[in-house]
């Protein structure tokens, strides 16, 4: 059987690949300890700190006996044996190796070649996983910092707002128009700051301590329709809801996402034109949702900018808001391993769309 595998062809094909590729022979399909190295490309030999003649044709028990003592190593070798016997392929995902030759985190997949043979693909992702873990830690620390700072800012703001209200209530007869106007400015400014802090707290808490579950998006958007009923009535909005699926996701965050996008579609309407908002979904490789409106639209040069924190295209006097809403939406979509974007024609309307991964 070994003669069927032309090592010269394997060497030319696999040696210069940027990922590790190894061929294993399992002479006894019932015995994991019978596995032999047939071929290892340069990447795997480098990871193993071995020369070809130290590995080729030798059993794993000779070259790396400790692999059978390590739970993860034994699991991987048992997978080689099973695939060699039964055929097929399997992606093992991230595998931890720890022995005198190899230590780190690897992406690993195993594929059947022919009877008794498998080939294995390995990619060292140790540095990538370490960077990812460090980034997650930094993001968690940043979220905690944002929570603490925002929480501590709320109390003095409340004191300022309450004091301004007391001055207005007690001394209103002694204040002239300018004094009362200044107190009104203080009240409005502290109110905006309080809303901004609340938005920051919400932004930093997206995805924290939440559990995945099946979410009926149709019911979710219907509930949002009820929550926005006053705004819908006051603006004479038509909200059209298509057939929406049930998906795996974070319900609170998805509610925030849909509500922000629908609220924006109502808010950024054209003067004297009743808003018309349509919510729909389409399934290709994954579910994509669409929120379409007939509003003022978004200029091409701002289609990326609007998803950043504190980015506003209009003054507060034109449209109220903190400038965080679409950044919220982007973070929620990223939590669901999807993408968020917008198609828009200024003066005609916009269609915001986002996808949700099937692999959550």
Q: How does pLDDT run across 144-187, given as a tens digit for each residue?
A: 666 666 667 777 788 888 888 888 888 888 888 888 888 888 88
At 251-310, the pLDDT tens digits run: 888 998 999 999 999 998 888 899 999 999 999 889 999 999 999 988 877 767 777 755
pLDDT at 100 over 80: no
Residue 342 tokens read as 């917008």
Span of 48-52, 114-118, 149-153, 194-198 with lowest mean pLDDT: 149-153
Spell out the residues 6+ positions from residue 305 whose beta carbon is closer than 8 angstroms to its own.
Answer: 311, 313
HSE, side-chain direction, 13 A CA sphere, residue 167: 16
pLDDT at 321 over 50: no
Q: What integer pLDDT is reported at residue 244 of this predicted model?
A: 97
Total residues belonging to the chain = 360
Q: What integer pLDDT is reported at residue 320 of this predicted model?
A: 54
Q: 14 near 63, Cβ under 8 Å? A: no
Q: What integer pLDDT is reported at residue 98 of this predicted model?
A: 60
**Between 106 and 239, where is the model more confident?**
239
Domain spanning 126-205: which CATH class is it, in words? Answer: mainly alpha
Spell out the residues 6+ positions from residue 118 whose beta carbon is closer than 8 angstroms to its own.
Answer: 23, 24, 26, 80, 83, 84, 110, 111, 112
What is the chain's alpha carbon radius of gyration, rounded to the nearest angstrom? 30
Mark out the alpha helices in the chain (DSSP H runs): 7-14, 42-48, 60-63, 71-86, 126-171, 177-204, 217-227, 229-234, 251-267, 325-335
Please identify which residue in the block is written with the tokens 């007690």. Answer: 170
Mean pLDDT of 67-86: 84
Whole-number Å distance between alpha carbons of 262 and 350? 11
Fold of 2-124: Beta-Lactamase (3.30.450)
Cα 265 to Cα 167, 192, 243, 255, 311, distances in angstroms = 39, 21, 19, 15, 17
pLDDT at 323 over 70: no
pLDDT classification of 189: cutoffs 50, 70, 90: confident
Q: What integer pLDDT is reported at residue 193 of this predicted model?
A: 77
CATH code of the domain made up of 211-360: 3.30.565.10
Q: Of 340, 335, 328, which Cα lies nearest the Cα of 303?
A: 340
pLDDT classification of 48: cutoffs 50, 70, 90: confident
Please identify which residue in the block is written with the tokens 């993408």. Answer: 339
pLDDT at 314 over 60: no
Cα 312 to Cα 65, 278, 302, 325, distances in angstroms = 62, 24, 10, 10
Mean pLDDT of 84-93: 87
Q: What integer pLDDT is reported at residue 299 of this predicted model?
A: 80
**Between 212 and 148, where is the model more confident?**
212
Whole-number Å distance between alpha carbons of 292 and 294? 7
Q: Are strands 349-356 and 213-216 parallel, antiparallel or unpaired?
A: unpaired
pLDDT at 242 over 90: yes
Residue 316 tokens read as 């507060």
Mean pLDDT of 53-73: 82
Q: What integer pLDDT is reported at residue 247 of this predicted model?
A: 96
The mean pLDDT value of the chain amounts to 82
Q: Of 123, 125, 128, which Cα lies nearest the Cα of 21?
A: 123
Mean pLDDT of 192-211: 70
């Amino acid at each position: 059987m070994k003669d069927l595998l032309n090592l010269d062809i394997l060497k030319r094909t696999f040696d210069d690949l940027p990922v590790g590729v190894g061929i294993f022979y399992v002479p006894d399909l019932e015995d994991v300890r019978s596995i032999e190295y047939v071929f290892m490309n340069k990447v795997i030999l480098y990871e193993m700190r071995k020369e070809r003649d130290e590995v080729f044709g030798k059993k794993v028990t000779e070259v790396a006996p400790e692999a059978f003592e390590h739970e993860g190593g034994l699991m991987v070798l048992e997978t080689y044996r099973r695939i060699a016997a039964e055929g097929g392929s399997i992606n093992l995902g991230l595998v931890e190796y720890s022995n005198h030759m190899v230590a780190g985190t690897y992406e690993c997949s195993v594929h059947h070649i022919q009877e008794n043979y498998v080939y294995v693909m390995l990619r060292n992702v140790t540095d990538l996983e370490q960077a990812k873990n460090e980034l997650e830690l930094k993001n968690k620390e940043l979220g905690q910092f944002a929570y603490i700072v925002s929480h501590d800012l709320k109390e003095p703001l409340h004191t300022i707002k309450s004091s301004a209200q007391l001055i207005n209530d007690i001394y209103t007869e002694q204040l002239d128009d300018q004094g009362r106007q200044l107190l009104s400015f203080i009240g409005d400014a502290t109110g905006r700051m309080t809303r901004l802090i609340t938005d920051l707290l919400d932004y930093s808490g997206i995805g924290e301590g939440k559990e995945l579950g099946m979410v009926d998006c149709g019911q979710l958007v219907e509930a949002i329709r009820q929550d926005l009923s006053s705004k819908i009535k006051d603006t004479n909005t038509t909200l059209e809801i298509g057939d929406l699926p049930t998906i795996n996701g974070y319900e609170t965050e998805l509610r925030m996402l849909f509500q922000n996008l629908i609220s924006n579609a109502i808010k950024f309407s054209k003067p004297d034109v009743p808003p018309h908002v349509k919510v729909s979904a389409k399934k290709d490789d994954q579910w994509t949702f669409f929120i379409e409106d007939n509003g003022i639209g978004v200029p091409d040069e701002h289609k990326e900018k609007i998803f950043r924190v504190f980015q506003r295209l209009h003054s507060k006097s034109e449209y109220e808001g903190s400038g965080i809403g679409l950044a919220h939406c982007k973070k929620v979509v990223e939590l669901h391993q999807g993408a968020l974007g917008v198609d828009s024609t200024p003066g005609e309307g916009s269609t915001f769309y986002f996808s949700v991964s099937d692999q959550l």
